Amino acid sequence: MQPRGKIVVASQHYPPDPSTTAAIMAEIACRLAREHEVMVLSGSPGALPASQIGPDKPRVISIKNRMAGKAALVQRGLSELLFVLRIFVALLRRLRRGDVVLTVTAPFVLPYAVAAAAWLKGARSALIMHDLFPDVLVTAGLLKPRSIVTRVMRAANSLMFRALNAVVTIGRDAEPPLLSYSGMTRNKIRFIPNYATLVPAARPVTSDNPFRKTIAARFVVGLSGNLGFTHDPEIVFEAARLLKDEPDTHFLLSGWGIGFDRLRQLQADANLPNVSFVARVEDAELEAFLTAADLWIIPYRKDVAGVSVPSRFYNLLAVGRPVVLVSEPQAEAAMTVVENGLGWVVTPGRADQLAAAIRAASTSRDGAFAERAVKAASRFDRSVAMNAYAALIDELLRNPNLREQR
Cβ pair 125, 163 in contact under 8 A: yes
> What does the mean pLDDT of the chain come to?
91
The mean pLDDT of 261-279, rounded to a whole number, is 95
Edge-first strand listing for the sheet containing 323-326: 275-277, 249-256, 219-226, 295-299, 323-326, 343-346
**Cβ neighbour number for residue 283 with a 10 Å cutoff:** 9
Cβ pair 32, 57 in contact under 8 A: no
The three-state DSSP-derived secondary structure of 86-147 is HHHHHHHHHCCCCCEEEEECCCCCHHHHHHHHHHHHCCEEEEEECECCCHHHHHCCCCCCCC
Residue pLDDT, tens place only, 370-400: 999 999 999 998 999 999 999 999 999 998 7
The mean pLDDT of 219-248, rounded to a whole number, is 93
Which tops the pLDDT comparison, 304 or 359?
Answer: 359
Kind of pairing between the strands at 124-129 and 100-104: parallel
Residue pLDDT, tens place only, 169-191: 998 889 999 999 988 999 999 99
- Would you say residue 2 has pLDDT above 70? no
Q: 7-195+381-398: which CATH number, 3.40.50.2000, 1.20.1050.140, 3.40.50.300, 3.90.1150.10?
A: 3.40.50.2000
- pLDDT for residue 73: 60
Q: Which residues is 225 bridged to in the sheet?
A: 255
Reduce the DSSP state of residue 288 to 3 states and report it: helix
Residue 310 and residue 306: Cα distance in Å, rounded? 12
- Would you say residue 351 has pLDDT above 90? yes
Supply the pTM of this predicted model. 0.86
Residue pLDDT, tens place only, 284-318: 899 999 999 999 999 998 888 877 776 789 999 99
**Cβ neighbour number for residue 171 with a 10 Å cutoff:** 24
Question: Do 7-195+381-398 and 219-379 agree at the fold level?
Answer: yes
* Alpha-carbon radius of gyration of the chain: 22
Q: Under CATH, which number does the domain 219-379 receive?
A: 3.40.50.2000
DSSP conformation class of 348:
T
Cβ pair 190, 364 in contact under 8 A: no
Domain boundaries, the chain: 7-195+381-398, 219-379
